[in-house]
Chains A and B, each alone.
Chain A
Amino acid sequence: AQSVTQLDSQVPVFEEAPVELRCNYSSSVSVYLFWYVQYPNQGLQLLLKYLSGSTLVKGINGFEAEFNKSQTSFHLRKPSVHISDTAEYFCAVSDRSYSGGSNYKLTFGKGTLLTVNP
């Protein structure tokens, strides 16, 4: 079984400030890691993903995340946020063991609402 904990339900920041959204996961198997963004009344848009290789991954809209295996974390960061970044952000994991018949279903955290104020 897998679980995802997003440590902050809400993060208010001022425009042009840096931001970090925290994500920790628990899993008995190796995982793939994802961050999705959801704007009001819309579906989920993929921001970035960690599959393998470099632990620092870059995504769209200037976001990046770092995979830390020892701390089982995948925190999302942006050095300077814009008003348009206001949205709900979801961290998710899936089982990467294809040989075990994984269907790659996603387990999500509860989300972090990022509010960027002028």
Chain B
Amino acid sequence: DTGVSQDPRHKITKRGQNVTFRCDPISEHNRLYWYRQTLGQGPEFLTYFQNEAQLEKSRLLSDRFSAERPKGSFSTLEIQRTEQGDSAMYLCASSPLAGGRETQYFGPGTRLLVL
């Protein structure tokens, strides 16, 4: 068990560019979550996957954001036409489907800076 991993750890981009982040959950964890954390705030829920199905999306997830989890393993979060307001830490978390389902384990995050 190597924990949740995220790639890249840091990303600097120019406004208007597209970016994609990857999250690899703990193996055999069926549930996967994305959160966004802006400076001085707590993380805010973005979206939730159970296996490959995206079951909930926050209103924070505008149409420029898209998340996928093909085959129920790793997940990607893409932001199109980035804006300066997208600058934040993007956190991924996973939990099992059954025993211990209420407890999420977080990755190290991807810090995005939009210039």
Please measure, in the bound complex, the distance between the C-alpha atom of A106 and the C-alpha atom of B48, giving whole angstroms: 11
Answer yes or no: A27 CB below 8 A from chain B CBs: no
Q: List 21 A-B contacts (CB under 8 A).
A: A32-B102, A42-B109, A43-B6, A43-B107, A43-B109, A44-B43, A44-B106, A46-B105, A49-B102, A103-B55, A103-B56, A104-B102, A104-B104, A105-B48, A106-B33, A106-B45, A106-B93, A106-B104, A107-B45, A109-B42, A111-B42
Contact surface of B with A, Cβ cutoff 8 Å: 4, 6, 31, 33, 35, 40-45, 48, 50, 55-56, 91, 93, 95, 101-109, 111
The number of chain A residues with a CB under 8 A from chain B is 26
Contact B103–A90 (Cβ < 8 Å): no
Contact A43–B31 (Cβ < 8 Å): no
Q: Can you list, as one digit per residue, whether each of A30-55 has a CB less than 8 Å from chain B (1) or not (0)?
A: 00101010000111111001010000
